[in-house]
Amino acid sequence: MTISHSGDSLTLRRSATWRLRAACVLGALLPAVAGCSGWLPWTASDKAAKNAELYGPTANQRIKSLEADAKQAKAEGGGKEMEFTRGLAEQVLGEHDARVRCEIVAVAGMFDTPSALAICKGAMQDPDDRVRARACQVWRERGGPEAVQQLANRCRADRDLDVRLQAIRMLGDLENEAAIPALAEVLSDPDPAVQYRAVAALKQVSGRDLGNDVNVWREWAADPGRVESWSIAEAWRKLF
């Protein structure tokens, strides 16, 4: 018995003909669309423009705008700085992207206004770990007694280990003896990473090198005024 394939062949021919016609129609339409509008509706540039129209500027665009506005405010100074940082304070409250909040904090750190100070303080309580870590860096750059206090609070109580380590490191970079009590306190932390970082910070703050024994540093921190006796101990350590 012979099986006929004529029906299948006819179906294939019809399908091929339909695809050919569709390709011809599409090929004829594309130049007309491009010629009328100057762009194709699915190009990358148009997609970005449409997204900006629907959803507003992207995080990268907002960051770039912040940097430009900060530069202009710095150049004009005075009242422009006050106005700009007040705007920053409003912006940070409504900003949902942590990357942009990090940039707002960094920019605020460049200004000495009440609004900028409020932003830097508030950032130390931000719900995102990245923002609090960036705020620690900003406080190191600002310096002064307020920086010691803010960083000491973070190194003692932050829920994120990386933020605590960042705060301890920034305290060391300040090289301010007012940080000694906070650093001495975290020497008792059960995490070896925290202890090690605290020892490194105490070396910076005190200008001394008593080795890496946490207990030795605890004794020193309890009475850092014993300059002569500890100087002798340092000399012996360097010999051996």
Residues 9-23: pLDDT tens digits? 544 455 445 444 534
For residue range 187-239, what is the model confidence (pLDDT) as tens digits?
999 999 999 999 999 999 999 999 999 999 989 988 876 654 545 555 455 55
Selected residue with higher pLDDT from 165 and 21: 165
**By mean pLDDT, which of 42-56, 146-160, 176-190, 220-234 is the weakest?**
42-56
Mean pLDDT along residues 68-82: 91
* Average pLDDT of the chain, as a whole number: 80
Q: Tokens representing 115?
A: 């609004």
| Domains of the chain by start residue, with CATH | 47-123 (no CATH), 157-240 (1.25.10)
Q: Does pLDDT of 3 surpass 50?
A: no
Contact 80, 111 (CB under 8 A): no
Contact 126, 101 (CB under 8 A): yes
Closest CA to 116 of 144, 94, 83: 83
Distances (CA, A) of 167 to 122, 137, 147, 149: 15, 8, 10, 11
What pLDDT, on the 0 to 100 scale, is given for residue 55? Answer: 63
| Secondary structure of residue 164 in the 3-state scheme | helix
What pLDDT, on the 0 to 100 scale, is given for residue 33? Answer: 34
What pLDDT, on the 0 to 100 scale, is given for residue 42? Answer: 37
Q: Tokens representing 97?
A: 């992207």
Phi, psi of 58 (to 5 degrees): -75, 170
Contact 201, 171 (CB under 8 A): yes
Task: Read off the pLDDT band of 54 (50, 70, 90).
Answer: low
Within 13 A of 8's CA, how many CA atoms are on the CB side?
3
Q: Does pLDDT of 61 surpass 80?
A: yes
**By mean pLDDT, which of 42-46, 141-145, 196-200, 216-220 is the weakest?**
42-46
Distances (CA, A) of 121 to 105, 124, 208: 9, 6, 31
